[in-house]
Structure 1
Amino acid sequence: MDTQFQPSLDPAEVYERYLSRNIADPWTRVLLDLVSPKSGDHVLDLACGTGSVARQVAPLVGEDGRVVAVDINPGMLKVGSKQQMPDGATIIWDSGDATQLGLSNNAFDIVFCQQGFQFFPDQPSAVLEMRRVLRPGGKAVVSVWQSLKQQPLYHVLFSSISKHLEVPAADLDIAFSLGTEETLHKLFSTQFKDVQVAAITLPVRIPEPAKFVQFSILGAATSIPSFANMDAASRLALIEKVTSDTLTAVQGFVEGGVLVFDMSTHIVVLS
C-alpha cells in the first residue's frame, strides 16, 4: 500500500496537476483544431475548470481577442488563475452558473465547453444560455465522455467505488452520463440548427500510476458531491480500499512507469 496518500490535498490543485495537464490539455488541442480560432475572436471557456481551453486559445486570438473563463467552482478559478499565463489575450476569470450566465447577448464568436455539460443540473437552460451569448454565425464546441462502458479503466475504478460506497454506479459516473450520440442530438437540436457529433478516441498518458485512484477520487471531488462531501478520513479509507481492489487492473495499463490507456469522447460542433 502506498503510504504517501494525502487525501487532504486541495482537489482543484490535484485536478490541475494530474488530470488537466494529462487529460484535458491533449483534448483541448483537438477542440481547437476543429474550429481554428483566429486573431480577434471573442471566446468563452464555459465550465473552464482550471482553464485548459482558455490558456491554449489565448495566443490564437491574440491581444485583439477576448477570452472569458467561467466556472461555478471558485477553487478551480483560483488555481487556474495562478498558472503561468500565455501570450495573447488576457484571460478574464469569472465565477458563474452555466444556466444563468451574467454575460451579454451575442458576445462570443466561439463557445467551448470541455467536459462540463454533463455536470449541469439544468442542461436545457445551459444550451439556451450558450445559444444566447453566441454571435450569429458563431460556433459552439462541446466535448463529453462516451459512456462508462467505453472507458475500460474507469469502468473498473467506478465499479469498485460503487461497491464500497454501496451506491449505484449511476450515482457516481456523472462524468460519463451524456454518453450517447442520440442524447446529444436531442439536447442541442432544441437551439442549434446544425449539430455535428464525432466520436474520437485518444491515448492518455498519466504519470504516478500508483496514485491513479487517489488523484482520480480527489479530482472528482471538484464536481461530484459523493466525493466532495467526504471527510478526510472517509476519503482515505475509500482510496485505500479501491486501490487494493484495482491494483492488478491498473498495473495492466502501465508501460514504462506511465499509465497508458484510451479514452473515448463525443465532440459536438454547433452552429
Structure 2
Amino acid sequence: MEKSPTFADRYQSVLVPIIFEPWARELIRRADPKAGEDILDLACGTGVVTRQVAKLAPRFGSLTGADHSAEMLEVARTVAIQAGLDATWVECDAAELPFEDDCFDLAFCQQALQFFPDRPAALRELQRVLKPGGRVAFCVQRELDVNPMLRAQAAALDAHVGEEAGAAVRAICSLPDADDLRILFEDAGFQNVEVNSVTLTLCHPDAKAFAEGAMGGMHTGDKLSGVSDRGVERAVKAFLAGLGGYLDGPALRFPHVSNVVTAST
C-alpha cells in the first residue's frame, strides 16, 4: 500500500518550487558563497538552500543542513541522494547546536527565525559556531498587510476552518519589524547588521492547484485533518476569491515580501 504524503512531502512538492527556491536564490545571491567555505543551512526544512548552493560552480568545504524536524530531514536526505548531493543532515534545536565553535564560514536561514521559541539563544548559538568574519543571510516574512497571498489564506481559514488554523498563517508573519530584527542580531553579537525589505514576484501556472496544495503544505496542514472535504473545498474557494487581482486567468502571480538580514561575526 502506497504511503500517504506527509506534511514535509507536500511542503517540498507544492511550496518549495514556488516560494522557497526563489528566496533561496535571493539569499545566495546576497551572501555570495566562496569556494572552500563551510556552509550551514539552519532550520533547513527539506534542504532547498543547500541544494541551491550545491548548484554553484565553487567547490565548498562542507554543506550542512540542520533542522528540528525528523520528517523534514528525511525528505531532505531523500531529495539530496536523488540529486547526487553530498551534504550532512543534523536533527537539532537551533538554540542547542551540536557543532564546535568557529566551524562555519556562512549560515543561511529562511523563513524560520519567527518560529524559534528562543530567538536570542538561537542567534547566540549561531554566532558561536561561525568562524571569525563569518556571515549570515536570513529572510523573515513581513506582515500580512504587504503579503496578499498569506492574507487571503488566513482570512479563508478563519472563516471556513477556524481561528486556530488562521493563526498558523499569521504566525508566519509574527516577526515583521526591521528594528526588532536588527536588535536581535546586534544583541547576539553580530556586526554590520543590515535589514532590507525585499519583494519577490512569485508565480504558479495553476492557482487552484497551488491553493489546494498550500492548504496542506503550510503550517495549516494539521489544522485541516478534521475538516470535511466540502469544508476544505469552501476554504480553497475563499482563498482564491481573496486573491482577487493577483489571478491571471488560471495562473497566480503575487508579491511576497520579507525582510532580508545580512550580518557578520
TM-score, normalised by the number of residues in structure 2:
0.88
Residue matched to 1:228:
222
Give the SS at the match of 1:82: helix
What residue identity is the alignment partner of 1:203?
T
1:173-212 alpha-carbon deviations (Å, 9 max, x no partner):
1111111112211211102132100111011012331133
Cα displacement (A) at 1:214: 2.4
The alignment of Structure 1 onto Structure 2 pairs a total of residues equal to: 258
Residue matched to 2:146:
150
1:247/1:258 Cα in 2 relative to 1: closer, same or farther (>3 Å)?
closer
1:38-76 alpha-carbon deviations (Å, 9 max, x no partner):
111000000111111101112447445101001111111
Give the SS at the match of 1:142: strand
Give the SS at the match of 1:218: helix
Percent of residue pairs identical: 31
Q: 2:182 aligns with which of 185, 193, 197?
A: 185
In 1, the alpha carbon distance for the partners of 2:57 and 2:94 equals 23
Residue matched to 1:3:
none
Residue matched to 2:209:
211
1:33/1:171 Cα in 2 relative to 1: closer, same or farther (>3 Å)?
closer
In 1, the alpha carbon distance for the partners of 2:125 and 2:41 equals 13
Assess if the C-alpha contact under 8 Å between 1:213 and 1:239 holds in 2. no
Cα displacement (A) at 1:227: 4.0
Where does structure 1 differ by over 3 angstroms across 4 or more consecutive aligned residues?
59-64, 84-87, 168-172, 235-238, 249-252
1:236/1:48 Cα in 2 relative to 1: closer, same or farther (>3 Å)?
farther
Mark the runs of 5 or more structure 1 residues left unpaired by the alignment.
1-7
1:251/1:68 Cα in 2 relative to 1: closer, same or farther (>3 Å)?
same
In 2, the alpha carbon distance for the partners of 1:21 and 1:78 equals 18
After TM superposition, the structure 1 stretch with the greater mean CA deviation from structure 2, 119-128 or 244-253, is 244-253
In 2, the alpha carbon distance for the partners of 1:153 and 1:242 equals 14
Give the SS at the match of 2:79: coil
1:93-133 alpha-carbon deviations (Å, 9 max, x no partner):
11111111111111100010011111111111111111111
1:93/1:61 Cα in 2 relative to 1: closer, same or farther (>3 Å)?
farther
In 2, the alpha carbon distance for the partners of 1:207 and 1:252 equals 15
Residue matched to 1:4:
none
Mark the runs of 5 or more structure 2 residues left unpaired by the alignment.
none
Residue matched to 2:172:
175
TM-score, normalised by the number of residues in structure 1:
0.87
| 1:261 is the counterpart of 2:254 | yes
1:128-185 alpha-carbon deviations (Å, 9 max, x no partner):
1111111110101110111111111221210121233442755541111111112211
